[in-house]
């Protein structure tokens, strides 16, 4: 879940707590299992790290692809 910049810290903590609790709810777990959908919960710090890591990896891949494309054009 993403939101606009500047959300107050107390709201973010409340959302963190609500999502952490929701993914453990038996009804939610049951529905996800019936849909064969894995439950992957990450708190804010984990999501931030994941997104930053993926952006870095994707930028490296794009640079490598551009370099390869330039080599092929020569």
R_g (Cα) of the chain, nearest Å = 19
pLDDT tens track for 53-68? 999 999 999 988 888 7
pTM equals 0.63
Distance of CA 29 to the CA centre of its chain: 19
pLDDT tens track for 4-34? 999 999 999 999 999 999 999 999 999 999 9
- Check: CB of residue 41 under 8 Å from CB of residue 20: yes
Q: Which two tokens stand for residue 71?
A: 């080599």
């Amino acid at each position: 879940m993403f939101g606009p910049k500047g959300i107050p810290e107390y709201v973010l903590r409340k959302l963190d707590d609500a999502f952490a609790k929701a993914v453990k709810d038996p009804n939610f777990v049951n529905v996800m299992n019936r849909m064969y959908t894995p439950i992957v919960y990450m708190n804010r710090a984990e999501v931030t790290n994941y997104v930053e890591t993926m952006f870095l990896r994707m930028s490296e891949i794009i640079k490598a692809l551009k370099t390869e494309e330039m080599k092929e054009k020569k």
